[in-house]
């Protein structure tokens, strides 16, 4: 059985903890190959009928050295595995349920394992492994004598309970076909074993009656002597009365105890599931709180950095505005005076260097004009001679000024 089919069945059953339930079911299916998962409409003990996940099939049960395949059905709550499952034995036509403290005649299973169910620690594999043999084979004689006639019953062996005995009241009102125990009886009685409420009630011993005989001498005895007093039966009567009262008391106490235990288990199971859900939600909320706290700290750090940068920008802006205000009151200086040397000697060096470069430009321009036949050769030579003489004077002046200023030549 694939995990996908189990997942689909759990989804149809509206399982609240699908991952944990799926893991538990797959573990049980791995050990018990004859079980098959599915969904059925089931009436739960809370009185609600809804779609439930179920495991149905046979499990091997060892009894007196032999292995028997017992058909069972296990229904899971939607809060599984935080709430104990509901188990039933499904006997075939050749089987009859062995009613005991662990199985009632309807086939419902009661085990301490179910009553003590706590997750984690308890699972379906452990539950299915501890089941005892709950059925016997139905013999042909039992099947044939299931409904004996009135005539045959009179000659057959008498039942353990006299027909004249009044019906034993049940511990609490039940429907038709219900057992004298509450359906949730998971534990044996105070004596250590499950018991039948009628078992401890001693039955009256019938006296052997002959034809026309009476248990005591009649009052018309010929002797005329009063009949002897019958032997005292106070001890037997008191034992019978006390045993009956004790049986009633134990039956009522057991029924009330198990009813309260069932209610408490249902309430605790629901509360455990709710607490697990609340715990999971709380963990998620705490993780989200830590993430939000980190995000707030990062945003606070960025806000402080931006605030510092804004303060610096405001200060620089104020300085720039003040400088512009101070410079805005004077006329703009000439462009030629914007770049000037600090000393007159340096100013003469700069001026001579500029004139030297100007002469280079003039010589280049004259060469281009000669190529384009805009001037004659004689005119070109005359202009070159004059410009070269002037350039020589500027270079000589610049070298002399640099030597005087102590600058490299």
Mean pLDDT in the chain? 74
- How much is the pLDDT for 205? 39
Final residue of a structural domain among 90, 119, 140: 140
Is the confidence at residue 349, as pLDDT, over 50?
yes
Asked if 72 contacts 88 with a C-beta cutoff of 8 angstroms, the reply is yes
Determine the pLDDT at residue 355: 93
Instruction: Write out the DSSP string of 96-161.
Output: EE--SSSB-TT-BB--HHHHT--TTT--HHHHHHS----EEEPPHHHHHTSS--HHHHHHSPPPSS
Residue 189: band (very low, low, confident or very high) from pLDDT cuts 50, 70, 90: very low
- 390, 358 Cβ separation under 8 angstroms: no
256, pLDDT greater than 80: yes
Q: Looking at the domain assignment, is residue 264 inside a domain?
A: yes
Cis peptide upstream of residue 120 (ω within 30 degrees of 0)? yes
Most confident of 88-97, 248-257, 359-368: 359-368
Q: Which domain holds residue 268?
A: 243-274
The larger pLDDT score, comparing residue 130 to residue 189, is at 130
Greater confidence (368 vs 128) lies with: 368
CATH number at residue 94: 3.10.110.10
Yes or no: say if 84 and 265 are a contact pair by the CB < 8 Å rule: yes
Quote the DSSP letter at residue 59: E
pTM for this predicted structure: 0.36
Distances (CA, A) of 65 to 61, 121, 132, 144, 365: 10, 29, 13, 29, 127
Q: Do residues 184 and 115 touch, judged by C-beta distance below 8 A?
A: no
**Which residues make Cβ contacts (< 8 Å) with residue 172, sequence separation at least 6?**
182, 255, 259
The stretch 75-87 carries a mean pLDDT of 87
Instruction: Give me the residue label for tokens 């034809």.
Output: 211
Return the bridge partners of 50, or none: 42
| CA 184 – CA 110 distance, rounded (Å) | 7
Percent of the chain topping pLDDT 90: 22
| Within-domain flag for 154 | no
389 within a domain of the structure (yes/no): yes
pLDDT of residue 49: 86
Q: 110, 140, 170 — which closes off a domain?
A: 140
Does the structure show a pLDDT above 80 at 73?
yes
168 vs 331, more confident? 331
| Per-residue pLDDT, 93 | 77
Asked if residue 6 is part of any domain, the answer here is: yes
Last residue of a domain, one of 254, 274, 294: 274
Model pLDDT, residue 409:
76
Determine the pLDDT at residue 328.
67
For residue 367, pLDDT over 70 is answered with: yes
Mean pLDDT, rounded, for 383-388? 94
Q: How does pLDDT run across 106-159, given as a tens digit for each residue? A: 888 888 888 888 887 788 888 888 765 555 555 444 444 443 333 333 333 333
pLDDT of 156 = 37
The predicted pLDDT at position 132 comes to 58
How many structural domains are present in the chain?
Answer: 3
- Whether the pLDDT of residue 324 is over 60: the answer is yes
Top-confidence residue, 355 or 139: 355
In a domain, 307, yes or no: no
Distance of alpha carbon 74 from alpha carbon 56, whole angstroms? 7
Place of tokens 């018309």: 220
The pairing of strands 95-97 and 135-137 is: antiparallel
CA atoms within 13 A on the CB side of 271: 6
Write out pLDDT tens, residues 213-254: 343 443 333 344 444 454 454 545 555 566 678 777 877 888
At a CB cut-off of 8 Å and minimum separation 6, what does 14 contact? 50, 51, 78
pLDDT category at 184 given cuts 50, 70, 90 is very low
Q: Residue 44 half-sphere exposure, CB side, CA atoms within 13 Å?
A: 17
Cα of 365 vs its chain's centroid, Å: 93
CA 202, distance to chain mean position in Å, is 55
Instruction: Name the DSSP letter for residue 19.
Output: H
Question: Does 291 map to a domain?
Answer: no
Most confident of 73-87, 122-136, 360-374: 360-374
Tell me the C-alpha to C-alpha distance, in Å, between residue 178 and each of 108, 112, 136, 172. Answer: 12, 22, 21, 11
Q: Specify whether 3 is located in the same domain as 131.
A: yes
Give the pLDDT score at 333: 66
Q: Is there a domain that residue 383 lies in? A: yes
| Residue 74 located in a structural domain | yes
Which has the minimum average pLDDT: 61-70, 133-142, 337-346, 394-403?
A: 133-142
Residue of higher predicted confidence among 318 and 120:
318
Q: What is the mean pLDDT of residues 241-269?
A: 80
Largest CA distance in the chain: 200
Tell me whether residue 238 is exposed, middle or buried, using C-beta atoms within 10 angstroms of its C-beta: 0 to 12, 13 to 18, 19 or more. exposed
Indicate if 126 and 247 belong to the same structural domain: no
> Most confidently modeled of 66-75, 114-123, 288-297?
288-297
Candidate from 153-162, 258-267, 343-352 with smallest mean pLDDT: 153-162
Instruction: Please check whether residues 91 and 5 belong to one and the same domain.
Output: yes
pLDDT of residue 180 exceeding 50, the answer is no
């Amino acid at each position: 059985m694939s995990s996908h089919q189990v997942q689909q069945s759990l989804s149809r059953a509206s399982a609240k903890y699908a991952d944990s339930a799926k893991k538990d079911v797959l573990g049980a299916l791995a050990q018990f190959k004859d079980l098959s998962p599915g969904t059925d409409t089931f009436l739960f003990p809370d009185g609600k009928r809804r779609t439930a996940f179920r495991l149905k099939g046979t499990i091997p049960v060892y009894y007196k050295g032999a292995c028997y395949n017992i058909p069972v059905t296990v229904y899971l709550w939607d809060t599984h595995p935080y709430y104990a499952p509901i188990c039933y034995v499904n006997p075939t036509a050749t089987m009859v349920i062995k009613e005991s403290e662990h199985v009632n005649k309807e086939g419902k299973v009661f085990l301490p394992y179910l009553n003590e169910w706590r997750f984690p620690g308890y699972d379906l594999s452990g539950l299915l492994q501890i089941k005892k043999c709950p059925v016997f084979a139905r013999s042909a004689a039992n099947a044939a004598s299931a409904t004996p006639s009135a005539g045959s019953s009179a000659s057959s062996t008498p039942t353990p309970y006299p027909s004249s005995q009044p019906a034993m009241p049940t511990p609490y009102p039940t429907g038709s076909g219900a057992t004298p125990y509450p359906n949730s009886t998971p534990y044996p009685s105070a004596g250590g074993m499950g018991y039948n409420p009628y078992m401890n009630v001693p039955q009256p011993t019938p006296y052997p009656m002959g034809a026309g005989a009476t248990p005591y001498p009649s009052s018309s005895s010929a002797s005329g002597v009063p009949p002897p007093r019958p032997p005292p039966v106070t001890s037997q009567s008191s034992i019978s009365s006390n045993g009956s009262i004790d049986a009633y008391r134990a039956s009522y106490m057991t029924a009330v105890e198990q009813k309260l235990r069932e209610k408490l288990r249902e309430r605790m199971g629901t509360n455990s599931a709710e607490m697990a859900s609340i715990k999971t939600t709380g963990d998620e909320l705490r993780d989200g709180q830590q993430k939000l706290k980190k995000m707030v700290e990062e945003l606070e750090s960025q806000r402080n950095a931006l605030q510092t940068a804004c303060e610096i920008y405001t200060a620089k802006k104020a300085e720039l505005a003040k400088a512009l205000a101070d410079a805005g009151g004077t006329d703009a200086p000439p462009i030629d005076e914007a770049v000037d040397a600090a000393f007159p000697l340096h100013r003469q060096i700069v001026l001579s260097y500029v004139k030297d470069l100007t002469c280079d430009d003039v010589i280049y321009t004259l060469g281009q004009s000669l190529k384009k036949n805009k001037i004659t050769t004689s005119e070109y030579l005359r202009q070159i001679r004059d410009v070269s003489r002037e350039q020589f004077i500027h270079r000589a002046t610049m070298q002399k000024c640099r030597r005087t200023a102590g600058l490299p030549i």
